[in-house]
Structure 1
């Protein structure tokens, strides 16, 4: 079998294991994919280590030791959990891994099991040959979809030396930008936004709903809180990633300048308008609203929860300052509670691993510019960056899959991956990994 065939077979097995993360401790069941990966590597000369911080929540790492301790190591971070499905909205079995019209369907096929399977297959292929110069590790990580508490986060807090975090690859990258002049550009994720989840609570008068006169309504006040938060207009991000992203579209000079400074029309980005706005701003999404439990009782407490994604350089205190400023005269009545709070992380678009990425794309898509971008969501790469390493999202899609169409598959109904993109990603990883860790001299 070819490396591609091995990868496809493994991808189908990983999808069929249905390691669905419901964001509660006893979900996920990633032990199934860990067992499948252990079987996949059986008989190879690799160091295998399992991590199980909670029953069934298993991560597994396979390390091929290098011959040269001074050579750069490489770690491939692939997560093995997937998000839930609304089965009634699917037209195929979400966990059937069926191949239809050149695409493989299944939850996780794009996010990110096709990359995870590719990483495993390329690592095993190297393990079956002479040892590489640099140490290579593939880690199949649990719980990424719930921010890694039973996966990468647990490992860095409890076993940070289990494998190297110096040079890491993970999701996603490799899709294309719709450049204005028709030329090609391929993206690499060099960073990701942070997290600043908040719960905003407010107190009102309790009482019987039949006598509302003169009452201070918690529901009315929380609605006004939501209205004022929705009006927040944070400043545009002015870093090199945003500037380079805009410049890569090759707009006319006036359009480019206006978009860079935040005064332009984001509709210029077409299907990537929402992504461009999220890349360039701290975003405030109001996602949970709660008040009351009985229809005839005035609730004395109401709260609003928000998923806030800070740009690089934004601080948690700065987020709270923005909220208080937006609340105005209501600020003294609102309790701001911090939930998950994490800074944005970014790796430089330079250095040995970056150069290897650029050289690999130059071989496979020689006419494409390589454009650093940041993910608006999260990935396990942030943990490596916090330990001082670099991390990049790497894959390769066909030219027809622009960034918007690739992103649309994430967490979608009938999630599907073009097999052409699997072939390209396998070839890209094979070239990049062999280029970076090399073979023993």
Structure 2
């Protein structure tokens, strides 16, 4: 890391000073997918980069579905670039359920509140804060850093990262590694012991539409051929099914490290007993032990006294790396012969090893900011744009570092009500990212 030639003298303003304000401003740009396209947020990001002297390009996959791409030049052209990607879209929020305006970007009680505060405008803001701080102080990284603030992740990325990889792979083709969301955050397991979960794997996605068809009729008559009944049976079987336990390499390494640092007797072949020690994260970690399938939507009929000719349900299935076929074979058995299925969205599982210079740099940066912190790999139950960028041969890691209060139920805030992030966690994040990016 070197000072750029002809740079301005350092200023007193730091990344920590502005990260909460940046996040608040970004939250106030409503990018609820699919009703509010990301173009205003993409333009805002481009403006913040331009203020730092960094040129960017805005690309649209469809009207308003915009992504902002930029490259920070490094001092060593022989080093392969690092990709930092973050999505600009968020899931919708019902204001009546919140204690604050979900798109108000309110700063109160030492938190930044609003939709996207943890998924994932916090990482977008932290990245911008660090890059802008470097520009103010004439800092140049050793390797190029490619920045991708993308659209449509919350709908599977077909109009975001997937579209960029398919249509503009040259922008990322020389990148070998990437960091993004849902990793690097703390999990307190003792008074002076915190695990930092770095995502090295994530489940695949199969959003399914189930459909039953039958003869329609009058609701007052005896009717044994009923689409609603057939669909309800299939949905009930799926919702009640428990998939078998599978301990993947990432999860096995995660459990081993937890056993080492906590002294817990964890049986890697039956690790569920250890989940009680993980607090609110037990739901997320528990989902990394098996395939899952959850009914999420039902639709049938148009009048109380009409038996409909069809009924539909939506199922959110997630499969572990290496266990996709098992999941869909099981689903086909559970739905039975009178129900069909089709994909709404289908994407791969990804997994990489927890080793190498990049991982060492993450661990060193975390330890420098939190001597009691222990980095561990984990498999995330959800999905990210890593699925898209992995198609270019890029190793992907979830590394959005946050030091969280022990009492905060962090996993419940993803797509949850009163989504918020501590300002102190954001400031920890920019310090850690700065250390990491200077050394990686």
TM-score by length of 1: 0.89
Aligned to 1:226: 235
Question: Following superposition of structure 1 onto structure 2, how do residues 167-182 of structure 1 map, counting pairs within 5 Å?
Answer: 167-179=177-189
CA distance in 2, matches of 1:248, 1:371: 7
- How far is the alpha carbon of 1:373 from its aligned partner? 0.9
Aligned to 1:326: 334
Secondary structure, in 3 states, of the residue corresponding to 2:120? Answer: helix
Which of 48, 58, 83 is equivalent to 2:91?
83
Q: Using a 3 Å threshold, how does the CA distance of structure 1 residues 9 and 345 change in structure 2: closer, same or farther?
A: same
Q: Decide whether the 8 Å contact of 2:404 with 2:422 is kept in 1.
A: no
Q: Decide whether the 8 Å contact of 1:50 with 1:58 is kept in 2.
A: yes
Q: Decide whether the 8 Å contact of 2:23 with 2:112 is kept in 1.
A: no
Cα deviation code 1:346-396 (max 9, x no counterpart): 121112211211111121122322110122111112222222111111133
In structure 1, runs of 5+ residues without a counterpart are: 437-441
Q: Decide whether the 8 Å contact of 1:173 with 1:187 is kept in 2.
A: yes
Q: Decide whether the 8 Å contact of 1:120 with 1:138 is kept in 2.
A: no
Are 1:7 and 2:19 counterparts? yes
Are 1:184 and 2:186 counterparts? no
Question: Following superposition of structure 1 onto structure 2, how do residues 414-425 of structure 1 map, counting pairs within 5 Å?
Answer: 414-425=418-429
Aligned to 1:16: 28
Q: Decide whether the 8 Å contact of 1:177 with 1:249 is kept in 2.
A: no
Question: Following superposition of structure 1 onto structure 2, how do residues 158-169 of structure 1 map, counting pairs within 5 Å?
Answer: 158-163=167-172, 164-169=174-179
Secondary structure, in 3 states, of the residue corresponding to 1:18? Answer: coil
Aligned to 1:413: 417
Aligned to 1:145: 154
Q: Decide whether the 8 Å contact of 2:28 with 2:105 is kept in 1.
A: yes
Q: Decide whether the 8 Å contact of 1:64 with 1:137 is kept in 2.
A: yes
Q: Decide whether the 8 Å contact of 1:242 with 1:260 is kept in 2.
A: no
Aligned to 1:282: 291
Cα deviation code 1:107-126 (max 9, x no counterpart): 21221112101111222333
Are 1:361 and 2:373 counterparts? no
Query: What is the Cα-based RMSD across aligned positions, in Å?
Result: 2.4
Q: Decide whether the 8 Å contact of 1:347 with 1:385 is kept in 2.
A: no
CA distance in 1, matches of 2:51, 2:307: 66
Q: Using a 3 Å threshold, how does the CA distance of structure 1 residues 133 and 262 change in structure 2: closer, same or farther?
A: closer
Question: Following superposition of structure 1 onto structure 2, how do residues 1-400 of structure 1 map, counting pairs within 5 Å?
Answer: 1-21=13-33, 23=34, 27-127=35-135, 129=138, 131-163=140-172, 164-179=174-189, 183-212=193-222, 215-250=224-259, 256-257=266-267, 260-261=269-270, 264=273, 266-267=275-276, 269-315=278-324, 317-327=325-335, 331-398=336-403, 400=405
Q: Decide whether the 8 Å contact of 2:211 with 2:310 is kept in 1.
A: yes
CA distance in 2, matches of 1:209, 1:414: 43
Q: Decide whether the 8 Å contact of 2:280 with 2:412 is kept in 1.
A: no
Secondary structure, in 3 states, of the residue corresponding to 1:397? Answer: coil
- How far is the alpha carbon of 1:32 from its aligned partner? 1.4
Q: Decide whether the 8 Å contact of 1:196 with 1:340 is kept in 2.
A: yes
Tell me whether 122-131 or 30-39 shows the greater mean CA deviation: 122-131
Aligned to 2:10: none
- How far is the alpha carbon of 1:68 from its aligned partner? 2.4
Q: Using a 3 Å threshold, how does the CA distance of structure 1 residues 266 and 99 change in structure 2: closer, same or farther?
A: closer
TM-score by length of 2: 0.89
Q: Using a 3 Å threshold, how does the CA distance of structure 1 residues 167 and 265 change in structure 2: closer, same or farther?
A: closer
Aligned to 1:439: none
CA distance in 1, matches of 2:87, 2:337: 43
Cα deviation code 1:215-241 (max 9, x no counterpart): 322222222212222332222122222
- How far is the alpha carbon of 1:181 from its aligned partner? 8.7
CA distance in 2, matches of 1:46, 1:130: 13
CA distance in 1, matches of 2:143, 2:423: 30
Q: Decide whether the 8 Å contact of 1:284 with 1:307 is kept in 2.
A: yes
Q: Using a 3 Å threshold, how does the CA distance of structure 1 residues 334 and 255 change in structure 2: closer, same or farther?
A: farther
Q: Decide whether the 8 Å contact of 1:115 with 1:171 is kept in 2.
A: yes
- How far is the alpha carbon of 1:311 from its aligned partner? 0.6
Secondary structure, in 3 states, of the residue corresponding to 1:91? Answer: coil
Secondary structure, in 3 states, of the residue corresponding to 2:383? Answer: coil
Q: Decide whether the 8 Å contact of 1:180 with 1:249 is kept in 2.
A: no
Tell me whether 97-106 or 230-239 shows the greater mean CA deviation: 230-239
Secondary structure, in 3 states, of the residue corresponding to 1:225? Answer: helix
- Which has a greater percent of strand? 2
Tell me whether 337-346 or 242-251 shows the greater mean CA deviation: 242-251
- How far is the alpha carbon of 1:255 from its aligned partner? 5.0
The size of the alignment, in residue pairs, is 425
- How far is the alpha carbon of 1:338 from its aligned partner? 2.7
